[in-house]
Amino acid sequence: MMDACRQNSNTAAKDSAGSQRYPDYDIEEENMLKGKTIVLGVTGSIAAYKIAGLASRLVKLHADVHVIMTENATNFIHPTTFESLTGNKCMVDTFDRNFQFHIAHVSLAARASVLLVAPASANIIAKLAHGIADDMLSTTALAMTCPVIVAPAMNVNMYHNPAVQDNLKKLEQYGKMIVPPEHGYLACGATGDGKMPSVEVLLEYILREIAYEKDLKGKKILVTAGPTREALDPVRFLSNHSTGKMGYAIARQAMLRGADVTLISGPVSLAPPPFVKVVSVISAADLFREVCVHYEDQDMMIKAAAVADYTPLETAEDKMKKRDGELNIALKRTQDILAWLGEHKKAGQVLCGFSMETKDMLENSKKKLEAKKADLIAANSLKEAGAGFGTDTNHLVLIGKDEIIDLPMLSKEEAAGKLLDVLLKIWEERHC
């Protein structure tokens, strides 16, 4: 059975962390960074103007944002801009008398949650790699014990210079995170690597590092999401109204909490969650094949995809032409993936299924929990406003073997977090 599942697994998989395509989540109203101190180090590059937008986004997430600029950076953007956005004095001069009584670089380094150096010039990269501390930014960075993220931005030939590449490798060896620059048109007129990524990309690096406690670190989580499409002919298919939002929210929340996440996704219009391995599929058969390939070494499996229960018995090679009278289409059952996982799950694995109902939600979901040998069923009603397909909110009822947890109406990101809390509890009880 497993050999058959593994054959012809040709669906493309990729780590979206390097793709530079990030989801446009509405995170502005969340308190994800409340109580966090974020230091932004800005160096002399035309890309410095982008950091004003990043500072604004971080403040909206309730972070305490401090900006340190090199002297050269002030030629591209004025410190007053950052002071207006953050409410904190922008630091440039190591010997600024306004800070000398509490040794600013030491005190700020001690309470920083993360340091992002962006844009990072070749000069600051060299200083950080070799422990040189001759200005406010390099001095503060050297005193940092928190995570440090470096986003290079420079001319393409400078970026690919062996000395710069060696310095970046050295920083990685020291545990610093490097944000790969984008390929594109540069301010110098050249085209190539060296363009600083967007504010959204930089924000995701910060969120991954400090948004949540890493209580899922070391755990591997498999999530399925979205609809499947069952082809009638080269033009038409059978599908459903699933948008994949719930599954994508689960994958992103698990990633932010430190998990190694694989997302098997049907066709959706959502950008892939960052830092998640995404496997794209079309049909129920495709999805089943990829689940077979990936499930064995997972700690948790969350089947949020809306998989077709039936598929055409035959798929026409050519477009079916319209005819007079009715058309009957013969259908056959697809593989019940949740039931298959329940039969084949390994010792210690936690299995969660979803149940979208229009009536008798609790009764049907309890039956599903038992029949599929799942550990948890996340149920919701299509008839409840705000809890159906395509919404940004959901009302989940989490049905386990010993308890039922009725969550309030939440954003799908918040609901995903609550679901992961329960699954983590089940996993810990199983492994205590």
Known catalytic residue at 188: yes
CA distance 110 to 74: 25
* Active-site position among 90, 188, 292, 432: 188
Name the token pair of 355.
């149940």
CA distance 175 to 275: 18
What is each CA distance from 387 to 62, 277, 360, in whole angstroms?
28, 27, 16
Q: Is the peptide bond before 267 cis (omega within 30 degrees of 0)?
A: no
Q: Which H, E and C letters describe the chain, residue by residue?
A: CHHHHHCCCCCCEEEHHHCCCCCCCCCCCCCCCCCCEEEEEECCCHHHHHHHHHHHHHHHCCCEEEEEECCHHHHCCCHHHHHHHHCCCCECCCCCCCCHHHCHHHHHHHHCCEEEEEEECHHHHHHHHHCCCCCHHHHHHHCCCCCEEEEECCCHHHHHCHHHHHHHHHHHHCCCEECCCEEEECCCCCEEEEECCCHHHHHHHHHHHHCCCCCCCCCEEEEEECECCEECCCCCEECCCCCCHHHHHHHHHHHHCCCEEEEEECCCCCCCCCCCEEEECCCHHHHHHHHHHHCCCCCEEEECCECCCEEECCCCCCCCCCCCCCCCCCEEECCCHHHHHHHHCCCCCEEEEEEEECCCHHHHHHHHHHHCCCCEEEEEECCCCCCCCCCCEECCEEEECCCEEECCCEEHHHHHHHHHHHHHHHHHHHHC
CA distance 312 to 154: 54
Neighbours of 227 (CB within 10 A): 24
Active site residues: 188
